[in-house]
Structure 1
Amino acid sequence: MKFCVNVSILFKEAPLLERFGRAAEAGFSAVEFWWPSGEDLGEVERAIKDAGLEVALFNFDAGDMPGGERGLVSDPSRREQFRDNVPVALDLAERLGSRRLNVLAGHEIPGMDRAEQLALARENVQFAADEAAGRGLEVVVEAVNTFENGPYLLYTTDQASEFVHSVGRDNVKLQYDVYHMQRMEGNLVATIREHIDEIAHIQVADSPGRGEPGTGEIRYPYVLEQIEASGYDGYVGLEYNPTTQTTEESFGWLPERVRSKGGGVADLNL
C-alpha cells in the first residue's frame, strides 16, 4: 500500500510552494493537491521537482474552493472556464508525470433541473476525458459530503458510479474518499468491495472531525486491511486536518519507511 500527502490541506503552517519540500522532509515520495489557484504554475512545477516528488493526482480548476465553490462542470456560466482549464491542467500533468486528475461535480443550482445539470457535467467530463485520453491520462470523479460542502451534486458512491458509467469513457474512474462516504452513507468496506474495479484513487481522514486516521470512529486497521486485500494498487491520499500542533506530528500512525516506500497494514501504527 502506497501513500501520498495532500499539500492543499496538510502543511497549512507554510505557503503552498514550501509545502512540497516539507512533505519530502517528512519522508513522503508522492503528493496530491487541489488546483493551485493564484499560484504561478511554473513555480509550482519547480517546487515539486526540487523536492524530488511524484504527483499522484491533482484537481482540475474547481473555482473558489476557500470561498465554498466545489466545481465548474455543472454550471452553464462556468463552462468555458472549465474547458479553458483542461489543456492547461493536462499540460501540467504531463510535465509533472501525473497520470490522474480529479474533477469536482459542483453544487446544485437553484431553479435548474438536476438532470440538466448532470447532462452538462457529463458533456464537460467527456470533453476532459477525450483530451486526457490522447495523452494517456485518467480523469476521476468523487462523491463528497453535503454537511461541509453544501448542495453537492454527487454525494453517494452509487451516484458517482452511475455518473461515471454515464460518461462512457474508459479513462474515467471513481475517486473514493473514505471520510466523505462515512459521513454520507457508512458501509465502507462493502461499498469499496462492490466498486473496487472502478476505483482509481482513495483518500482518507477520520470521521466526524476529519482528523488523521485513529482520531475518530472509523476502524482504519480493518478498512485499510480490506483495501489491501482487494488488490487495490493505487495511492491512498492523506486528506485530513491534523489534530496535532504541527502537520508532521500527525503522521505518527504512518512510519516514515512506509511514507516513501509503502507497506502493509501490519506496518502501520494503528
Structure 2
Amino acid sequence: MLDQTKPNPETQSTDKFSMKFAPHLGLLSPDAGMFRHHAGDDPVDQINFMADQGFTAMEDNWMKIREVDVQQRVGQELERLGMEMGVIVNTMKYNEPTFVLPDLQERERLMQEVRDTAEVARRVGAKFVTTLSGTAHGSLPRDYQTANMIENLKWAGDVAQKEGIILAVEPINHKGWEGAFLTEIGHAYLISKAVGLPSVKVLYDFWHQQIHGGDLIENLELAWDEIGYFQIADNPGRVEPGVGEINYRPIIQKIAEKGFDGIIGMEFDNSVPGIEGEQSVIDAMRMLDPTHAGRTQS
C-alpha cells in the first residue's frame, strides 16, 4: 500500500496539466487501470499516482459496479487531493433498443437508471454520466426513433436535473457497436438541442467520430453549444494520442482557445504494456497540454 498522506517524491511531477485530462481506472476491465504498473491495483493508489503526475481529474467506466466502500474511498481521496471526477457510466443496457422505444415501461426503467446512477455519482463527486442510446429499432423509421429518444431524454433529463447530474449523451461508432442508434455528433446535437435541458449534453468522443465520420474540428465548432464533455483516443487501436492518425494537437488547442474548462477523458488503452507504456502515456499528454507542449517528464 502506498503512503496516501503525502506525494511520492520518486514519481511526482512538478507541474499540473493546464487541461483537465482524466486518466481511467480501467477501460475494458475494472482491473485494467491505466497506471496500475506504477501504482498497483488499488484504485486509491492509482489516483494518488495520477495526482503526482499533475493530473487534476480522472474517470471510470466501471464505478457503478464497484463496491460501495470503494466508491466512498475514491470520492474521499479525490476530495482530499482537490481532483475532479469525470464520467461514470449511466446506461448499462446498450445492446438492444431503449431510448428509441415509445414504451412507458422502458421510460420508467430509464428514469430509475438515472436515479441509481445518481447515488453512485454523489459518492464519487461525479457530475457527468455517460448515456448511450441503445440500438436502433429494426422496423421503426429513424425519424420516429429520434422523436422517441428526444421525449425519453426529456423525462430522464428531468430526473437528472433533480438529482444534480448531467446525462452525457454519447454517439458511438458502428464498427465496434453494431446496430447503435446514435452514431453521429450532428444527430446527437439535434437531439440534445431538441431536449433543451441543461441536464442533457453531448459527449464528444473524437475516436468514435474519426471512425464514423471525421471532420473532427468542424463538428466541434458546429456542436459546441451542446457539448459538455470530451474523450480522446487515437485511431486505429484506441490508444494514446500520437500513435495513430489523429492530429490531436490542433484539436486540444482549439478546445483551449474556446475556453473549455471541463474534463477531457483519456478513454484509451496504453499502446505499450508495463511501466514503459504508462510513461509513454504521460509523455504523450504532456505533449498535448497547451502550456507544456514539447516538454516531457523523464
TM range (shorter): 0.7 to 0.9
Kept in 1: contact 2:171–2:204 (CA 8 A): yes
Change (3 A) 1:263 1:45: farther
* Alpha-carbon distance in structure 1 between the residues aligned to 2:135 and 2:59: 23
1:194 alignment counterpart: 222
Q: Deviations over 1:66-88 (max 9, x none)?
A: xxx37843355754443222112
1:203 alignment counterpart: 231
Q: Deviations over 1:48-104 (max 9, x none)?
A: 4246553122121322x7xxx378433557544432221121122223222222211
* Alpha-carbon distance in structure 2 between the residues aligned to 1:246 and 1:106: 34
* Alpha-carbon distance in structure 2 between the residues aligned to 1:86 and 1:40: 18
2:22 alignment counterpart: 4
- Which of 121, 129, 138 pairs up with 1:101? 129
Q: Which amino acid aligns with 1:32?
A: E
2:154 alignment counterpart: 126
Following superposition, the deviation at residue 267 of structure 1 comes to: 5.8
Q: Matches of residues 191-270 of structure 1 in structure 2 within 5 Å?
A: 191-246=219-274, 249-255=277-283, 264=291, 266=293
Q: Matches of residues 111-190 of structure 1 in structure 2 within 5 Å?
A: 111-190=139-218
SS at 1:197 equivalent: helix
* Alpha-carbon distance in structure 1 between the residues aligned to 2:181 and 2:56: 33
Following superposition, the deviation at residue 265 of structure 1 comes to: 5.7
Change (3 A) 1:111 1:218: same
Following superposition, the deviation at residue 204 of structure 1 comes to: 0.3
> Could you list the runs of 5+ residues in structure 2 that have no partner in the other structure?
1-18
- Answer yes or no: is 1:58 the counterpart of 2:58: no
Q: Deviations over 1:192-220 (max 9, x none)?
A: 12222221111000012111101100111
Kept in 2: contact 1:70–1:104 (CA 8 A): no
Following superposition, the deviation at residue 22 of structure 1 comes to: 1.7
Change (3 A) 1:120 1:158: same
2:42 alignment counterpart: 18
* Alpha-carbon distance in structure 1 between the residues aligned to 2:24 and 2:60: 5
Identity of aligned residues (%): 25
Change (3 A) 1:37 1:92: closer
Q: Which amino acid aligns with 1:74?
A: V
In the superposition, the TM-score normalised over structure 2's length comes to 0.75
SS at 1:143 equivalent: coil
Over aligned residues, Cα RMSD in angstroms?
Answer: 3.1
Following superposition, the deviation at residue 245 of structure 1 comes to: 0.7
Kept in 2: contact 1:62–1:70 (CA 8 A): no
> Which one has a bigger Cα radius of gyration?
2
Following superposition, the deviation at residue 41 of structure 1 comes to: 3.2
> Could you list the runs of 5+ residues in structure 1 that have no partner in the other structure?
none
Q: Deviations over 1:126-154 (max 9, x none)?
A: 22211222244322212111011111111
Bigger CA drift: 128-137 or 202-211? Answer: 128-137
SS at 1:6 equivalent: coil
Q: Which amino acid aligns with 1:154?
A: L
* Alpha-carbon distance in structure 2 between the residues aligned to 1:248 and 1:5: 16
Change (3 A) 1:212 1:82: same
Change (3 A) 1:144 1:97: same
Bigger CA drift: 24-33 or 220-229? Answer: 24-33
* Alpha-carbon distance in structure 1 between the residues aligned to 2:295 and 2:222: 25
How many residues are aligned here? 262
Following superposition, the deviation at residue 123 of structure 1 comes to: 2.9
- Answer yes or no: is 1:30 the counterpart of 2:57: yes
Q: Which amino acid aligns with 2:116?
A: V
Kept in 2: contact 1:7–1:20 (CA 8 A): no
